[in-house]
C-alpha cells in the first residue's frame, strides 16, 4: 500500500501544480488613468475662481496631494512652487488638498504662493481612482504625460524628487 501511495503522490502533486498553473489569473497591469478622468471637470484657483481644463492641455500634469498641517508637505511645497514656476511652459500642477477645511486649503495656497489650480475642496467629482491613488500618504505627486498617461508617482518628501521629475518632463 505504501509503495502504491509513494508512486501516486508525485503524480497527484504534479497534476495539482499543473491545475493551479492553468487557473492562476494573470496579473493585471496597474491601470494608467487619464488625468482628466481622475480629476473631473472642475478646477479652481486660490481665490476660488473656476479654471478651464484646457489650461493644462499639452503639458505634463502633476496632481499634488498635500496639506498645511503636514511637516513633509511644508518642505515639499515651496520646492514644488519654484519648480512649477521654472517649468510652467511644460509642467502644470493640480492641487488636491488633504486639509481639514476649505479655509485651510485656501490659506495654504495663498501663504505658499501656489501658482497652480486645484480641485475644489472635497470635490464631489473626485473619482475613486484619485482617492485610491493618494491613500498611501502625503505629500504625493502623481505625474502624467501630455497624452494623459500616468508615468510616475512620488510619495513622501525626498530631496532628489526634482531630479526625477526633471528627467521625466525633459523626455
What architecture (CATH level 2) is domain 35-169?
3-Layer(aba) Sandwich (3.40)
pLDDT tens-digit readout, 77-98: 999 999 999 999 999 999 999 9
Cα–Cα distance for residue pair 162/37, rounded to 1 Å: 26
Give CA separation, 64 vs 67, 71, 93, 96, in Å.
10, 15, 7, 6
Look at the alpha carbons of 147, 150, 152, 153 in this order and tell me if their dihedral is positive or negative: positive
pLDDT tens-digit readout, 97-147: 999 999 999 999 999 999 999 988 875 555 566 666 666 789 999 999 998
12 pLDDT tier (thresholds 50, 70, 90): very low
Assess whether pLDDT exceeds 90 at residue 75: yes
Domain ranges of the chain: 35-169
Residue with cell 475642496: 121
- Tell me the pTM: 0.73
Amino acid at each position: 500500500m505504501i509503495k502504491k501511495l509513494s508512486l501516486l503522490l508525485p503524480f497527484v502533486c504534479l497534476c495539482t501544480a499543473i491545475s493551479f498553473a492553468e487557473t492562476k489569473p494573470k496579473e493585471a497591469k496597474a491601470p494608467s488613468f487619464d488625468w482628466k478622468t481622475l480629476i473631473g471637470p472642475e478646477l479652481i484657483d486660490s481665490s476660488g475662481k473656476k479654471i478651464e481644463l484646457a489650461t493644462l492641455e499639452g503639458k505634463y500634469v502633476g496632481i499634488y496631494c498635500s496639506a498645511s498641517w503636514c511637516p513633509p508637505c511644508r518642505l515639499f511645497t515651496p520646492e514644488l512652487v519654484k519648480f512649477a514656476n521654472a517649468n510652467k511652459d511644460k509642467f502644470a500642477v493640480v492641487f488636491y488638498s488633504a486639509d481639514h477645511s476649505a479655509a485651510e486649503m485656501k490659506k495654504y495656497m495663498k501663504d505658499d504662493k501656489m501658482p497652480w489650480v486645484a480641485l475644489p475642496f472635497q470635490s464631489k467629482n473626485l473619482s475613486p481612482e484619485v482617492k485610491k491613488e493618494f491613500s498611501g500618504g502625503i505629500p504625493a505627486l502623481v505625474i502624467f504625460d501630455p497624452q494623459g498617461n500616468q508615468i510616475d508617482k512620488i510619495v513622501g518628501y525626498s530631496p532628489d524628487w526634482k531630479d526625477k521629475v526633471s528627467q521625466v518632463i525633459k523626455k
